């Protein structure tokens, strides 16, 4: 078993029914994006851009996925 103390954890979640991804940084900051590369660049650029970029918990995504 590995020791996770001091490890950085980044998460990217797809919001079902949308084209939106939610990225969560190890510091607790979150951001919504449509492009995975944009989201990973933001996550890996820590701490640049993490202040004031938090996603409001009550705000639903505004763009829904279009059926094929």
Per-residue pLDDT reduced to its tens digit, 16-51: 988 999 998 888 888 999 999 999 998 888 777 666
Q: Is residue 66 part of a domain?
A: no
Kindly indicate the confidence band of residue 2, based on its pLDDT and cuts at 50, 70 and 90: low
Long-range contacts of 52-55 (CB under 8 A, 24+ apart): 53/29, 54/29, 54/30, 55/22, 55/30, 55/31
Q: Is residue 2 part of a domain?
A: no
For residue 47, cis peptide bond before it (omega within 30 degrees of 0): yes
- pLDDT of 67 > 70? The answer is no
When divided into structural domains, the chain yields a total of 1
Q: Give the residue from 49, 47, 22, 46 showing the smallest Cα distance to 35.
A: 22
- pLDDT of 53 > 50? The answer is no
Q: Is residue 28 part of a domain?
A: yes
Measured distance CA(51)–CA(54) in Å, rounded: 7
pTM of the model: 0.60
Number of H helices, E strands in the chain: 1, 3
């Amino acid at each position: 078993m590995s020791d996770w103390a001091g490890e950085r954890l980044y998460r990217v979640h797809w919001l079902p029914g949308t084209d939106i991804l939610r990225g969560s940084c190890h510091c607790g900051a979150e951001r919504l994006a449509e492009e995975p590369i944009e989201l990973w660049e933001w996550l890996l650029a820590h701490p640049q851009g993490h202040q004031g970029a938090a996603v409001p918990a009550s705000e639903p995504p505004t763009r829904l996925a279009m059926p094929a």
